Structure 1
Amino acid sequence: MKFSRISIILAVAFAMGGCSLVPEYFRPAAPVPEVYPGQPASDTVTNTPVTEAPPLSWQSYFADADLQRLIQVGLAHNRDLKTAVLRMDEAKATYGVQKADRLPTIQGNLNYDRSRTVFSSSQAFEAELYRVGVGISDYEIDVFGRVKSLTQSALEQYLAVSENRQAVQTTLITEIATQYVNFLAINDQLKLAQQTLDDRKQTLQRTQRRFEAGLDQVLDVKAAQIQVEQVQAQLAQWQRQLATTQNALYLLLGETSHRTPLPVKPLAALKLADVTPGLPSTLLTRRADIRAAEHQLKSANANIGAARAAFYPRLQLTTNVGLVNSDFSKLFSDTGSNYWAFSPQLVLPIFNYGRNKANLNLAQARQHIEVVNYEKTIQTAFKEVMDVLSTRTVIAEEFAARERLRELESSRLQLVKRKLDQGLVTYLELLDAQRSVLDAQSQAVQIQQQALQNQVGLYKALGGS
């Protein structure tokens, strides 16, 4: 009969544990326009509204086979990504610990008590007692959802850390792609500088022969020598930058021993996907940093429920059932005695110098901070997308202009060479034309590099995965 009463009490307590004081969650409105400034709200060809763009996977965006192999190496060995994964394991374990508090912990116990009582008549009584049993100690029955709120907060923290791991992966992929673009661009610059150096050396030798024949002046020879030294200095500068870029790329790959070869090819051979940005609302589900910020906000929201529950009584339960005997050898025999204990405790906060009120204010303040952080994260993401979109058109126009300039400078050089053979121009004019061609070619490579970096930046800004 007594055990039936205990069962009824426990059932009622567990049923009351469904109560929650967590405020209802509402996602804050995104503090950004509905469409990107300068971008059409509908497709000008089909006249259909712009919708959310499909998810960006790095395999489809970075379709180049060489770049994909480098990214795969980085995903397998990069230390920052490994740390992010371990942080996720840490948060998962923390959530597991907090989740376990919602269920009672059953423990076995073996006790030995020896006591001596002295009476006023100088008589003494000694007793010893052995107990063995199982029970629950100080288990909080979550009547007002305090433990449930803390568990929900820990879950949201784990989900936020998981999203942070995805954000680290996206950043890693972006940095590998960016450094590989830099690596190919520097190789193009090196090849261009080496070709130019060979041409300048031939021009110097020809100028020296003409000087010795009395056809050119010493000023022409000095000018040709200066041109050679300038290109050699540029070549050394590009070699230094190449070494630095290789080291940065290998650090991202997680292989400081340089085991993975870096494929070399013309920068123009590297092709990336071209995607539409979609709507700003797409960022809320695409970008891992925004999703992580929202999980942090939900965690802070759940902590308010725990702080509210602290104002209400806590129901703690201690139970035990087992065997007792004064003789250990008879503890498990038929002559042993049974015992049980049921000790519910109601703890009611009366006066704690405003601690509960301060904790509630703290939880609410932190929730307000997370709202602002969430909004700022969205604004930052919107700004990053706009930076990429606003420069993409300008870069394309500059790229076309640089290509036209390079072709014009090359045509001018050929014309100067023909006139030089006819004796109509000096070698100084030839050297000036050669220098202009080198500058135009180098700038064409640089703008092509910026165009690819812009495409890589778009992948990150749109929340590639």
Structure 2
Amino acid sequence: MNPSHPADRPAHAPLRLGAVALAAMLSACSLIPAYERPAAPVASDWPSTAGLSVAGTDARAAADLPWQDFVQDATLRELVALALEGNRDLRIAVQAIEQARAQYQIRRADQFPTIGVSASASRSAPNPAGASAPSVASSYSVALGGASWELDFFGRVAALKDVALASYLATEEARKTAQISLIASVASTWLQLKTDTELLLLSERTLATREQSLALIRLRFEHGASSALDLRQGESLVASAQAARAQQQRLRAQDINLLTLLVGAPVPERLIPALVAPGPATASARLAEPATAVAAVPELPGFAPIPAGLPSGLLLRRPDIRAAEQQLIGANANIGAARANFFPRITLTAGLGRVSSDLDGLLGSGGSKAWSFAPSLLLPLFDMGRNQAGLEAAQAGREIAVAQYEKAIQSAFREVADALASRATLNDQLAALRAQAEAERARFELAELRFRNGVASHLDLLDAQRSLFATQQALAQAQLAQRAADVQLYKALGGGWIEAAPAG
């Protein structure tokens, strides 16, 4: 006979057909409600904003734009790479994925029988009545068998597996969300650090200018050309600049501390914006050098342009919304498991082995075959409403998941709309502030020149100093808000979880 020919193996056909029929029967019944994605509770388009600048049609969507391409500055790219490697929150998110994956594998394994080998030995001395000495009885057994295996006629085990799968997929989306938030936090903190560094330099330059003016006022006061009021006003402005400098030093140190936490390790000194000396250190040197060269506020590094797209795109691309939908799918599957608890639960336990009174004969001719087959049926009749309460809890859990899914969409819509509104108006605000800062700088230089020549009063110079300082501070903060809006828009549109392909 040829064992490879189907005609020569007729006895195996019923076994295969029976296995196929059993598998079909076990998978045919499912009590999970049909899943329908809830309608998005937001408008079909973003709020109209006057002056909105939209990126070109050839620009990639945020979710398709790797963070390496979005971040244009090399220093910031290196910081983000360090954070992705060392941030502890991201490590926790990665391990949470592994934990959820293991739980899914456990639930998946419940659909199949567990087979193992068991061995036992026992010795006893019954000492029957009338016996002069106790007799010793021995028993040895070894068996290959399976633990209790539930026949999933009503889909309870399959539903629990679907719940675990949805939890695993939601955890994977949560890791992507954590990466997006980390990249945005590193970028925002680095921008804040650069801005606070520039504001500290501005405070240093303003302090140097005011100390220079105070030295000139004190010289004029000593010669009777200025009043005590002018001297006290100059001292007050110097003290105000010293307080602003101390405040900016504190804020800059806190920015570095936060960046260190995000990166997960001390930040290399070369990646921290450097401080530059404001000018001559001594009062006599500053007095000899007129403060006619007032430095302008430098621009912050920019990012790649991204289009806003449509709100419907968030449903498929933003990880936190996808995670909320997976939680909803899991809650829906949990209803099927709760419904299955109302129906009979059938389990099988079986074993096949040998039993012998001595160890040598266990595997030889002295032993005897032994087998067991123990099906069991559990039909709930009265449980004081436990199964009904479980079903109601599962149904309430689904309604909670629906509300959380809808809230995730609404929150995402609001974040994108806010970022678009900021981007639409900050450009005009920045243009106006730059023009104002240039005018205030020219006014201060002219006022100082007129004051040195005795044409303008000291009040004119003080007013010009205050206006220039306030305008430059506002300009630096507006530049920070503009760049932060770009980062928030990229984050709100689901960008940051895709890595750029390695070169070569």
**Greater Cα shift, 429-438 or 65-74:** 429-438
CA distance in 1, matches of 2:404, 2:434: 44
Go from structure 1 to structure 2 and tell me whether the alpha carbon gap of 1:244 and 1:435 turns closer, same or farther (over 3 Å shift): same
Separation in structure 1 between the aligned mates of residue 377 and residue 127 of structure 2, nearest angstrom: 36
Would the alpha carbon gap of residues 408 and 4 (structure 1) be closer, same or farther in structure 2, given more than 3 Å must change? closer
Deviations 1:374-412 (A, max 9, x none): 011100110111111122222222211211211221222
Q: What's the offset of the Cα at 1:438?
A: 1.2
Supply the AA of the counterpart residue of 1:242.
R
Whole-Å Cα distance in 2 between the matches of residues 66 and 439 of structure 1? 29
**Residue of structure 2 equivalent to 1:324:** 355
Q: Which residue of 1 aligns with 2:99?
A: 90
Q: Is the 8 A contact 1:98 1:150 kept in 2?
A: yes
For the 8 Å contact 1:14–1:141, the answer to whether it is kept is no
Q: Determine the C-alpha separation between the residues in 1 that align with 2:152 and 2:42.
A: 41
Change in 2 beyond 3 A, CA 1:51/1:169: closer
Query: What is the aligned residue count?
Result: 459
Alignment of 1:29-178 (within 5 A): 29-38=39-48, 55-112=64-121, 128-178=138-188
Please state if 1:187 is matched with 2:200: no
Alignment partner, residue 250 of structure 2: 240
Q: Structure 1 residues 419 and 8, CA, compared in 2 at 3 Å: closer, same or farther?
A: closer
Distance 1:369 1:103 in 2: 32
Cα 1:252/1:236, change in 2 over 3 Å: same
8 A Cα contact 1:13 1:143, kept in partner: no
**Structure 2 residue identity aligned to 1:393:** A
3-state secondary structure, aligned to 1:219 = helix
2:229 maps to which of 219, 225, 229: 219
Superposed displacement of residue 209, structure 1: 2.1
Partner amino acid for 2:346?
A: L
Please state whether the residue corresponding to 2:27 is helix, strand or coil: coil
| Structure-2-length-normalised TM-score | 0.84
Written as runs of structure 1 = structure 2, the 5 A alignment for 1:330-369 is 330-369=361-400
Query: In structure 1, the residue corresponding to 2:172 is in which secondary structure?
Result: helix
- One-letter amino acid of the structure 1 residue matched with residue 224 of structure 2: G
What are the residue-to-residue correspondences of 1:205-284 with 2, within 5 Å? Answer: 205-255=215-265, 257-259=266-268, 261-264=270-273, 268-284=299-315
- The structural deviation recorded for 1:214 is 2.7
Decide whether the 8 Å contact of 1:53 with 1:279 is kept in 2. no
CA distance in 1, matches of 2:479, 2:62: 26
Residues 368 and 168 of structure 1: is their aligned pair in 2 closer, same or farther, counting only changes over 3 Å?
Answer: same
* Native 8 Å contact 1:135 1:319 kept in 2: yes
Q: Separation in 1 of the partners of 2:273 and 2:53?
A: 39
Work out the CA distance in 2 between the residues paired with 1:193 and 1:45.
37
CA distance in 2, matches of 1:243, 1:299: 45
Q: Does 1:313 align with 2:368?
A: no
Q: For the Cα contact (< 8 Å) 2:60–2:306, is it kept in 1?
A: no
TM-score computed with the length of structure 1 as normaliser: 0.90
**In structure 2, how many angstroms separate the alpha carbons of the residues matched to 1:316 and 1:11?**
19
Distance in 2 (alpha carbons) for counterparts of 1:292 and 1:350: 38
Deviation per CA, 1:401-430: give whole Å up to 9, x if none: 211211221222233234335533212211
What letter is aligned with 2:357? S
* Aligned match of 2:7: none
Counterpart selection for 1:434 from 455, 465, 482: 465
- Give the drift of 1:14: 3.2
